[in-house]
Amino acid sequence: MGEPVQVADTSFLYALFSKSDAFHGKARRAAASADAILVPSEIFAETVSLIHYRVGFTAAKSAGSWIRVQKRMEVAAPSRSVLNGCWGIFRAARGRLSYPDAVVLAWCRERRATPLAFDQAILRRAKR
């Protein structure tokens, strides 16, 4: 992916698929205007699981399939350096940040990217 990349968080992906989510319209606009979106494998798993839990298997399967075929989206497994960065961010936050949030931030640091998120904890820390 040579274009500027954004790293997707579950808050963004869930809003993208949930018409009742307060950020649904904003998520659709952000997805349409993004050059490239990296979806960490942990965030992919969390999103599909959340949709499965809240809406059902068919919706989860549909969302996961859609993400996987998008040309501007890449579902990526972490490298050792991303895992180490994530663990460092998670530990340094001392309980004020979830592990999946730390995953998004570690990928942002690794790729010099911005987060696609509606989670204020991620957005605040990404500005640092």
Q: Which domains does the chain have, with CATH numbers?
A: 5-126 (3.40.50.1010)
Beta bridge partners of 4: none
pLDDT at 2 over 60: no
Encode pLDDT of 7-41 as tens digits: 999 999 999 999 999 999 999 999 999 999 999 99
pLDDT > 70: percent of the chain: 98
Residues in the chain, total: 128
Global confidence as pTM: 0.93
**Residue % of the chain over a pLDDT of 90:** 95
Q: How far is CA 81 from the centre of its chain?
A: 18
